């Protein structure tokens, strides 16, 4: 039976899904290592990172349960120094390429900067825009440039792209504690005009290939 895949959540799941728990390095007091996880330096937290922290971070991404780096990225709304954001985002892009792990990206009002920085890395390792909730035009632009999109219920309710998205999407619940990944799949099947079992199969195949899971 093909499981539901939730590639970005801040809550531990008790259901039958396969989930990727997000650790926010430098912010979370405890790092979850028990099952699949991602770990990243969030743009909001770049001010707490130093050489010792980076050494610790590099060790964490070598853990057997670490499937991805992130969330990392750029955010022009937060108070963090934008030069520091770009520096640590670039460092994590390099680590993603070196470790051959996908990078989960947080981007707020900085897509032009993102395109410029990612240009030399996009063909080297999977880059996934997490929590994508912008318009269809930007979604198409990102897909055409080689990015994957990870979306949830808010984007799915408004998109009109249909099957155009199927090859390049993942699904997530993010920080929504009471949202079940099954419900996101149900909505996705309806909005993307695809049978749910076929959608599960496609997303699982992408997940197994990109995240190197057997």
What average pLDDT is seen over the chain?
95
Give dist(CA 20, CA 38) in Å, integer.
Answer: 6
Question: How much is the CA Rg of the chain, to the nearest whole Å?
Answer: 16
We report the CATH number of the domain holding residue 41 as 3.20.20.140
The verdict on residue 25 lying in a domain is yes
The verdict on residue 69 lying in a domain is yes
pLDDT along the chain (214 residues), means of 10: 94 82 93 95 96 96 97 97 98 98 98 97 97 96 97 96 92 94 96 95 95 88
> By 3-state DSSP, what share of the chain in percent is helix, strand and coil, each rounded to 5?
40, 20, 40
Both tokens assigned to 157: 């309710």
Both tokens assigned to 61: 């991404």
Q: How many domains in the chain?
A: 1
pLDDT at 152: 97
**Residue 70 belongs to what H/E stretch?**
strand 66-75
pLDDT at 14: 66
Query: For residue 176, what are the domain limits?
Result: 11-210
145: CB partners within 8 A, 6+ apart: 115, 122
């Amino acid at each position: 039976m093909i499981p539901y895949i939730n590639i970005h959540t801040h809550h531990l799941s008790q259901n039958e899904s396969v989930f990727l728990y997000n650790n926010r390095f430098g912010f979370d007091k405890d790092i979850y290592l028990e099952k699949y996880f991602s770990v990243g330096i969030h743009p909001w937290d770049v001010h707490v990172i130093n050489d010792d922290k980076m050494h610790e971070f590099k060790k964490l991404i070598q853990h057997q349960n670490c499937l991805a780096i992130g969330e990392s990225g750029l955010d022009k709304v937060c108070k963090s120094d934008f030069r520091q954001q770009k520096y640590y985002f670039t460092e994590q892009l390099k680590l993603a390429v070196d470790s051959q792990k996908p990078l989960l990206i947080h981007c707020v009002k900085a897509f032009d900067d993102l395109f410029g920085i990612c240009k030399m890395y996009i063909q080297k390792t999977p880059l996934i825009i997490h929590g994508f909730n912008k318009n269809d035009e930007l979604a198409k632009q990102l897909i055409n440039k080689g990015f994957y999109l990870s979306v949830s219920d808010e984007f799915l309710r408004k998109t009109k792209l249909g099957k155009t998205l199927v090859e390049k999407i993942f699904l997530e619940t993010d920080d929504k504690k009471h949202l079940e990944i099954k419900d996101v799949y149900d909505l996705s099947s309806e909005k993307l005009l695809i049978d749910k079992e076929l959608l599960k199969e496609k997303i699982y195949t992408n997940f197994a290939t990109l995240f190197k899971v057997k």
